[in-house]
Amino acid sequence: MKNICKWYNETSGMKRACDKGLLKQKWIAKYCMNDGNDCVRKQRFEEEGYVSPDYILPDGTVDTHLKDIIDNQGYF
């Protein structure tokens, strides 16, 4: 059984993006279903209390497509 990251829920930008077909499943499989190991978003939140914008991927890079959607609509 996979170890789901405790932050992978309805408030997770990564979960919402994947559920809407805006993010490839590979991100969820590699990070969220691996207890959040190596996830920059999780590390920053737990260590600094910093909530990453929804367009920041688990490896810390910017998903420009998600960023454009948020910049234009305010959400996705």
Greater confidence, 2 or 75? Answer: 75
Q: What pLDDT was estimated at residue 43?
A: 97
Using DSSP's 3-state secondary structure scheme, residue 30 falls into helix
pTM for the full predicted model: 0.90
In the chain, where the domains are located:
13-73
Q: Which residues pair with 34 in a beta bridge?
A: 3
HSE value, Cβ hemisphere, 13 Å, CA-based, for 13:
19
Q: What confidence tier does 8 reach under pLDDT thresholds 50, 70, 90?
A: very high
Distance CA 29, CA 45 (A): 20
Tell me the per-residue pLDDT of 52-63, one tens digit each, with 9 for 90 and over: 999 999 999 999
